[in-house]
Amino acid sequence: MADSSSSPQLKELLDYLFSLHRFGIKPGLERIETLLKFLGNPQTSLQCIHIAGTNGKGSVCSLLAGILQSAGYRVGLYTSPHLRQFNERIRINGEMISDTDIALLAQGMMPEIEREHTTFFEVTTAMAFAYFAKNKVDIAIIETGMGGRLDATNVLKNPFATVITSIDLDHMEYLGNDLITIAGEKAGIFKLGSPVIIGEERDGLIECFKTHAVQKNAGEVFVVNETCSYANLEMRPNLTMTLDCMIGDMHMSHISADRVGVHQARNILTALLTVKCLQNHFDIPEHAIRKGIRECMNLTGVKGRIQYVSGSPLIVLDVGHNTACLNRLQETLASCGYPNHSWEIVFGVMKDKPIKEMLDILAKLGKTLHCCTPNIDRAMSAHELCEIAKAHSIDAIYYESVTKALESALQKNNPVLITGSFYLADEAIQALEEFGFNY
């Protein structure tokens, strides 16, 4: 866990690290390569799996980490963004990097950070690689931040496998305005000789990825659509599920999962196909696979994916932040027995998202939209969001804070759904804990 008490000097250093957001997003590998060289290129000693995609990559990362941990390996897990605190981004066997280790690593990088105007994500990535190398993990599971080709994580040279999850329109100002262009950016993580696992299900995008794999002289290509399937999917009101999985000639029946949804069934297939590709390198018995999927959230600490927070009152939290995520949220809640038009929805969103399309989906789910502004510059103001919602004939109210929005929603004695952003989820969890709910 992160240190519970910090010296003023440590807090100042951490505040400086978070302030690197001021450099924004600057795609390119020059700064991260310079920073890693300064650190002795720790990434070259890592055995890793590299994962890109628009949706599902965090779930696939955590599934792989949970399975490998359960098989007895020391597993580094690098994901983003975080929910509650920065430390969540860098974990070994589920345990977050400590504040002290963050400070020591950041302090060591400070001269190079100042010289190169390194971005927040570049520093975080370098920190993760250095931390994993220092602690001699058996394998590191690395999630791209955005895109792939120019993502800071793409300095990795020889991953055991590269994995692509579902693709959607997101971060279009950086990645392109159509799915084929975005897919090309994601395929930038493919490496010479490294196997490619494709979890995306649309034929046109699968062919695009296959073409890029050939161009990159990647290793063998494995496609979930072509070799995997699931059956007997049963989704439960407590937002867990069971299913049978077929991965080539490997059949596993009645797998229990602590995440729910057709999309999560596909994420499980993607993770299992990746595990099959790892069998020549790691001993991963069936009991470890089952435990890693069944206890994924507790093993890895990666939460917030259509998560059941409370049954009385019913509270569900989801970090979905684009139309594809919200469509899956609506479908999953219906499959778990929760009808449309039943939810008090606490909603906050970033300005650059397709807000009208997202509202169209939420209109099918909710009684009232409780609009709020997460505490980040990129967030749309609650007042503006409320006005757009009302123009869509949605019953909407705006609040001065996430806490006020959540408090009002809870007073309605209806099920409460919290969605729209990782940043919203962070503040909502804090408020829930203040209200006595155990996240």
pLDDT of 13 higher than 60: yes
pLDDT of residue 116: 84
Distance separating alpha carbons of residues 392 and 193, to the nearest angstrom: 51
Structure tokens at 154: 């793409």
pLDDT of residue 438: 81
pLDDT, tens digit, 9 for 90 and up, residues 334-368:
999 998 878 999 999 999 888 999 999 999 998 89
| Torsion, CA 277, CA 205, CA 187, CA 420, rounded to 10 | -100
Q: Are 328 and 320 in contact (CB under 8 A)?
A: yes
* Domain spans of the chain, in order of start: 8-300, 307-434
How confident is the model over 204-231, as a mean pLDDT? 96
Domains 8-300 and 307-434 fall in the same CATH topology:
no
**In the β-sheet with 48-52, what is the strand arrangement from edge to edge?**
95-96, 90-92, 75-78, 139-143, 48-52, 161-164, 196-198, 221-223
Residue 263: name the closest of 209, 203, 326, 321 by CA.
326
Structure tokens at 123: 């520093």
Distance separating alpha carbons of residues 271 and 46, to the nearest angstrom: 20
pLDDT of residue 341: 76
Q: Are 197 and 222 in contact (CB under 8 A)?
A: yes
Structure tokens at 237: 């009101």
Q: Are 322 and 358 in contact (CB under 8 A)?
A: yes
* CATH class given for the domain over 307-434: alpha beta
How confident is the model over 414-438, as a mean pLDDT? 94
pTM flag (> 0.85): yes
Q: Where are the beta strands (DSSP E) in 19-101?
A: 48-52, 75-78, 90-92, 95-96
What architecture does CATH give domain 8-300? Answer: 3-Layer(aba) Sandwich (3.40)
Q: How, if at all, do strands 95-96 and 90-92 pair? A: antiparallel
pLDDT of 20 higher than 80: no
Sequence-distant (6+) residues with CB within 8 A of 208 are 180, 183, 184, 187
Structure tokens at 371: 């609009």
Q: How far from chain centre, in Å, is Cα 308?
A: 17
pLDDT of 11 higher than 80: no
pLDDT of 4 higher than 50: no
How confident is the model over 75-89, as a mean pLDDT? 92
Q: What is the DSSP letter of 103?
A: H
Q: Are 202 and 180 in contact (CB under 8 A)?
A: no
pLDDT of 424 higher than 70: yes
Least confident of 115-119, 281-285, 288-292, 368-372: 115-119
pLDDT of 5 higher than 50: no
Distance separating alpha carbons of residues 8 and 156, to the nearest angstrom: 35
User: Which uninterrupted H or E stretch holds 316?
Assistant: strand 314-317
User: Which uninterrupted H or E stretch holds 293?
Assistant: helix 286-294
pLDDT of residue 439: 75
Distance separating alpha carbons of residues 276 and 284, to the nearest angstrom: 9
pLDDT of residue 2: 39
pLDDT of residue 9: 63
Mean pLDDT, rounded, of the chain:
91
Distance separating alpha carbons of residues 128 and 109, to the nearest angstrom: 12
User: Which uninterrupted H or E stretch holds 270?
Assistant: helix 262-278
pLDDT of 224 higher than 50: yes
pLDDT, tens digit, 9 for 90 and up, residues 105-127:
988 998 898 888 888 899 999 99
φ/ψ of residue 233, rounded to 5? -75, 125
Distance separating alpha carbons of residues 140 and 161, to the nearest angstrom: 11
Q: Are 364 and 392 in contact (CB under 8 A)?
A: no
pLDDT of residue 320: 87
Question: Could you tell me the pLDDT band of residue 169, with boundaries at 50, 70 and 90?
Answer: low
Least confident of 23-32, 227-236, 389-398: 23-32
pLDDT of residue 85: 86
pLDDT of 178 higher than 70: yes
pLDDT of 58 higher than 60: yes
* pLDDT above 70 as % of the chain: 94
Structure tokens at 78: 């690098």
Q: Are 102 and 18 in contact (CB under 8 A)?
A: no
pLDDT, tens digit, 9 for 90 and up, residues 249-278:
999 999 999 999 999 999 999 999 999 999
Three-class DSSP category at 315? strand
